[in-house]
Structure 1
Amino acid sequence: IYSESMYPRYHFGWSELYALTDGRFRYIQAPQDELYDLERDSAEARNLAAERRQTRDAMRLALTPFIQPALAAKPQKVAAEDLEKFQALGYIGVAVQPTDTATQSLPDPKDKIGVFKTYRQAIQLAHDGRSPTTRRWSTSGSAWPRCCSGRIAATRRCSSCGASFR
C-alpha cells in the first residue's frame, strides 16, 4: 500500500511524507526515515530503520516509482490579487508557496508536532472569536511555520498577533 502526505510541505514548508506498507513492514520516507514491524509493533512505537537497513533500503527502492509523479504535481503560486479575492470570500488558509528545496533539507514533520498542535489551538481560538494573544503564543518556545502569521492575522481578531507568529 502506497500513501503520501503533501500537507506538511504545502501548508507549513516542512518535508512531505511517503510511505509503503507490505504485509509486515511500514516504511516512511522522511528526512529521518522510519521503519516499523507491524506484526510485532502495531503501534509503530519502535523505529527499526537503523537496525533493519536491508529492509529499509529495499522498501525505499520499491517506493521510488510512486514518488516521481507526486513530485510533479505541486501547487501553483497564487497571484496577490487572487489571494485578496479569496480572503474577501472568507478563505484565510493558504498553502505555503512551493519551493524547489530538497526534501532532506526541510524540517521533518514529526519534529514539529508541538508547533502543529499550538497552531491548531490558535486556529480554534480565532474560530471561537477569542484572540490568540501575543504573550500566550510567543512564550510557547516553538518556532512558528511560515504560513501561520497570515492565517491568524487574517481573522482580524488580533491586530498584534502577526509579529508573534514569525
Structure 2
Amino acid sequence: MTLTVHELQSGLSSEAACELYDSLPAVTVDEILGQWHGSEVPTGHPLDGLLAVSGWYGKRFDSADEVHPLLFGEPGDLYPVNPGSVPMNLLNTLGTRMPRPRIPGVTTAFKAVRTRRHRARLRDIEYRGKVSVAMVYDQIAVIDHFRKLDDDALLGAMDLRNSPQPYFFLLERD
C-alpha cells in the first residue's frame, strides 16, 4: 500500500494505518536529524484532532541524545515545550470528548511550559516486528516509533501506555 502525505492526512482505518506502517522501511538516527513539521493521521484514535487544536508544530532531532519532542508556535516563533507538563493520560482518556476546532490562546498557554532542555532521546527499538529509530520521552510513558515514507517524510506511531492502538502522525522535513 502506497499513500501520499495528503491521503494520509485525510485519514484511514487503524488497521490500514498499521498495515502501511508495518510495510515501511526502518530509519536511522542520521536519516532523521533536523527539524520536522508534524500533522495527524486520523484513524479513530481518541487523540485524533488534539495536536491540531493545541497548535503543535513538530519535532527537532539535534542528535541521538538531544531531542525537542514537542515544538509549538509558528515558523520564526517556534519553542520547545516540556512534555512532562502535558497531561497525556488525561488527554488520552478525554480525547473523543474534547472539542476539535482550534481554540484561540491554547498555543500561548503552552508558552508557560516552554523549555530549553532537550526532553527526549533517540534509540533503535523493535516495534511491530522491525527495529527502527524511536524517540523515548524522558518524563512520560510514551515512545514514538518512526518508519520512512520517503527521504523527507516519516510515519510515526505513538506508543502510549494504556492506549490499545497506536496514534499515528506524519513528520515532514523542514
Q: How high is the TM-score relative to the length of structure 2?
A: 0.25
Structure number with greater Rg is: 1
| Greater strand proportion | 2
Q: Which has the higher contact order (CA 8 A, sep 6+)?
A: 2
